[in-house]
Structure 1
Amino acid sequence: MQTTYHNETPVPFAIACAVGQFLLTILILKFGFSLAPPEAYGKVKLLAFASTIVYPLVLAHAFGLWKRLALGLGRIRPEPVFLASLSTAALFLPWGLRSADGGKILSDFTIQLFNAFGEELLFRGVIFALLLSLPVWRAIVLNGLLFGAMHLIHGFMDTDWKTACWKMVVTSIAGMMFTAVRYRSGSLWLCVVLHMVLNLCMMYSKVQDAAASTVFLVERAANVIELALAAWVVFGARRAASAPAAA
């Protein structure tokens, strides 16, 4: 019998979903690297990567959330908040793009597509569907924080906790913007596209060859835009909620 407890207590369930993916990924990588020979590490990473897609699909089925994942193609519309969010990726383009052979570009595109799909399916799909009963600002902030916390995995895997904590902060901010796009557009696919495009622009931008101060300013400018867009959606939702109903 399908339970509805997740509708009554969405926050604990949302946190549990994020923690579950975090622990599953750690488990696969830690045990895989300890048991497999070095030449098989790529397969271990691929298994961990696959889990980010399979796990949220299992959750969606278990919680009966398929209709609330916003996967319908008819929802794909160029909402202003989505178009504005692309400016975060555009910030990395004026410095030019790194060259790469066609095979490398195709490989990176494919990896980032599936990476974005898996992360968005969990956070802006399953977890956001659980949080829809909350006030918009709480759903956006909590979703972003859970998304950022997932990046603490770098601390466990690389033992570089300073970098991991910083990644958590900046990805939490990006996660809030992704959630705002999901809320306003009603489309998970737009979040996938935005996530993938932003990752690829950051990967291929030559800004990383510039002075450290320039890199810092560009990245912080992106964070400011991300926060501003999340705030725009939150205040817009609050105004809509407080507006008197039409007679």
Structure 2
Amino acid sequence: MSLRQIAAQRPVLAAVLCAGLQFLITGLIIQAGIAFAPAAAFGKVKLVAFASTVIFPLAMAQALGLWRQVGLEWSKARPGHVFFASMLLCVLFASMGFHANDQHPFAPEVLIQFINAFGEELLFRGVIFAILLSLPRWQAIVISGVLFGAMHLMHGFMDGNWNHAMWWAAATCLSGAMFAAVRYGTGSLWLVIVLHMVLNLCKIYSNIEFAAGPNALLIAERVAYGFEIALTAYVIFMGSAREKLVQVRSASVQ
């Protein structure tokens, strides 16, 4: 029995294992760096850990034979209303303009965010999404979101701030669910990669906090969470409605 057949029979277990293996690989790289690398070289350790989040999903897509299911066909990259709605989040964080960030020079940051978005989306909304397609839509979206959020607990290993890592994991659960909803709504992984990358950049360079203060940024983040929940619920509801309509039509034909 092939790996793909095993994954098809146990989709939730396969999805959890894929995310868990990525977490384990990245965590081992970080822990090895902490234990053996000098403090001055920890940036390079993070870079190796970062690279693993691209290499591993590429390997999994190949091992599971899912290249046709991960959504990388350019012909499918046709933005529709769900994608344009999701881009309103970028508009929210860009609403007061942008500011320079000395810690994040723009050109290198664009490349970093593209690689980050490509690796994470290929794993969660590519490989894991394809594995979970046999499940009801709401289950696949929720599982994808929870696994995506759990992956961000890795920041606790990186900086030791577990309170922040827990909060970040909870927030990215919502983002992960929304990204999965957009993947359902568009059928294209490239569009989700673009959304992920642009949204991260808009958050990094947002001028909201500088123009209106920390409270304004907190309000914007809460509005974003509400929007992510609403868009996810819309995609789930519309998908369920279509599935019921198809079932009714099939039953009437029979």
Under TM normalisation by the shorter chain, which class is it? over 0.9
> What does residue 215 of structure 1 align with?
217
> What does residue 198 of structure 1 align with?
199
> What does residue 107 of structure 2 align with?
106
Q: Which amino acid aligns with 2:91?
A: A
TM-score where L is the length of structure 2: 0.92
Q: How far, CA to CA, are the matches of 1:65 and 1:167 in structure 2?
A: 30
Q: How far, CA to CA, are the matches of 2:19 and 2:163 in structure 1?
A: 21
Cα shift readout 1:84-108 (whole Å, capped 9, x = no counterpart)? 000111111122211369x921100
For residues 67-216 of structure 1, the aligned pairs below 5 Å read: 67-99=68-100, 104-209=105-210, 210-216=212-218
> What does residue 241 of structure 1 align with?
243
Q: How far, CA to CA, are the matches of 2:162 and 2:37 in structure 1?
A: 25
Q: How far, CA to CA, are the matches of 2:96 and 2:80 in structure 1?
A: 28
For residues 38-53 of structure 1, the aligned pairs below 5 Å read: 38-53=39-54
Range moving further from structure 2, 103-112 or 218-227? 103-112
Offset, 1:41? 2.1
Q: Which amino acid aligns with 1:118?
A: G
Contact 2:144 2:180 survives alignment (8 Å):
yes
Q: Which amino acid aligns with 2:17?
A: A
**Aligned-residue CA RMSD in angstroms?**
1.6
Q: Is 1:9 paired with 2:13? A: no
Cα shift readout 1:35-80 (whole Å, capped 9, x = no counterpart)? 1223322221111111001101111111111111110000000110
Cα shift readout 1:106-131 (whole Å, capped 9, x = no counterpart)? 10000000000000000000111110
> What does residue 226 of structure 2 align with?
224
Cα shift readout 1:138-195 (whole Å, capped 9, x = no counterpart)? 0001101100111111223323222111111111101111001111111000010000
Q: Which amino acid aligns with 1:94?
A: S
Range moving further from structure 2, 43-52 or 70-79? 43-52
Q: How far, CA to CA, are the matches of 1:170 and 1:32 in structure 2?
A: 27
Q: How far, CA to CA, are the matches of 2:218 and 2:100 in structure 1?
A: 23
Q: How far, CA to CA, are the matches of 1:221 and 1:100 in structure 2?
A: 24
Offset, 1:228? 0.8
Contact 2:22 2:56 survives alignment (8 Å):
yes
Range moving further from structure 2, 210-219 or 195-204? 210-219
TM-score where L is the length of structure 1: 0.95
Residues matched between the structures, number = 246
Q: Which runs of 5+ in 2 are unaligned?
A: none
Q: How far, CA to CA, are the matches of 1:191 and 1:221 in structure 2?
A: 20
Name the SS for the 1:68 alignment partner: coil
Q: How far, CA to CA, are the matches of 2:33 and 2:157 in structure 1?
A: 14
Alpha-carbon distance change, 158 to 40 in structure 1, aligned in 2, over 3 angstroms:
closer
Contact 2:31 2:157 survives alignment (8 Å):
no
